[in-house]
């Protein structure tokens, strides 16, 4: 079940690698995607471009679940930028902001995982569709990675806050 990429599909795929690389770099360098850093700004811009270019693509001929996931990723990223200004959430602000941007990265990779596994290697893809055991297992591992990663991020935020209180 090999699908060739259209020109827009190739452009979208290439541009979508930018937020993936910037996100992984942010996690490696800062242990989070920090919007104030260069990699954070590149991630956010790349996420927006990736989501918008996806709207020109559809194997079903219209709005599909991948588009919905992209919109959710954008909303999570935007929410993460707005949360620090919301005083009513109090001490939860850093946790919610970190969750939002990390969740947007998680969502960004959900369709990427499914598409990659159903297209590569091109001669004989690893999965025959999004419902394939390989895709489902990989997504389950991705969910577990996200949960563990966010717990570690929350622990680091809490540790930093405790360190500030002691000073």
Please give the average pLDDT of every successive group of 10 residues along the chain, which has 167 residues: 73 93 97 96 97 81 86 97 96 96 97 90 89 96 98 95 69
| pLDDT, position 130 | 87
Instruction: For residue 1, tell me if it sits in a domain.
Output: no
Domain that holds residue 66: 7-166
Q: Does the residue 12 lie in any domain?
A: yes
Res 1: pLDDT: 45
Question: What are the b/e assignments for 35-68, b being 16+ CB within 10 Å?
Answer: bebebbebbbebbbbbbebbeebeeeeeeeebbe
How far CA 107 is from CA of 5, 93, 122, 152, 157, in Å, comes to 22, 21, 24, 19, 22
Helix/strand/coil for 1: coil
Count: domains in the chain = 1
**Would 143 be classed as within a structural domain?**
yes
Give 76-137 as a DSSP string.
Answer: HHHHHHHGGG-GGGGGGHHHHHHHHHHHHHHHHHHHHHHHHHHHSSTTS-S-SSTTSHHHHH
Q: Give domain status of residue 2, yes or no.
A: no
The predicted structure's pLDDT at residue 55: 85
């Amino acid at each position: 079940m090999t699908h060739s990429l259209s020109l827009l599909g190739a452009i979208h795929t290439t541009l979508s690698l930018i937020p993936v690389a910037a996100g992984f770099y942010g996690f490696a360098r800062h242990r989070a995607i920090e919007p104030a850093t260069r990699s954070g700004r590149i991630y956010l811009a790349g996420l927006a471009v990736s989501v918008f270019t996806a709207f020109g693509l559809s194997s079903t001929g219209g709005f599909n679940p991948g588009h919905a996931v992209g919109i959710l990723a954008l909303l999570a990223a935007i929410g993460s930028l707005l949360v620090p200004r919301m005083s009513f959430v109090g001490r939860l602000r850093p946790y919610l902001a970190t969750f939002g941007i990390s969740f947007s990265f998680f969502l960004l990779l959900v369709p990427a995982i499914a598409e990659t596994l159903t297209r590569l290697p091109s001669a004989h893809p690893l999965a025959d569709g999004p419902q394939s055991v390989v895709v489902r297992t990989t997504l389950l591992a991705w969910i577990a990675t996200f949960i563990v990663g966010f717990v570690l991020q929350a622990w680091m935020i809490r540790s930093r806050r405790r360190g500030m209180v002691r000073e």
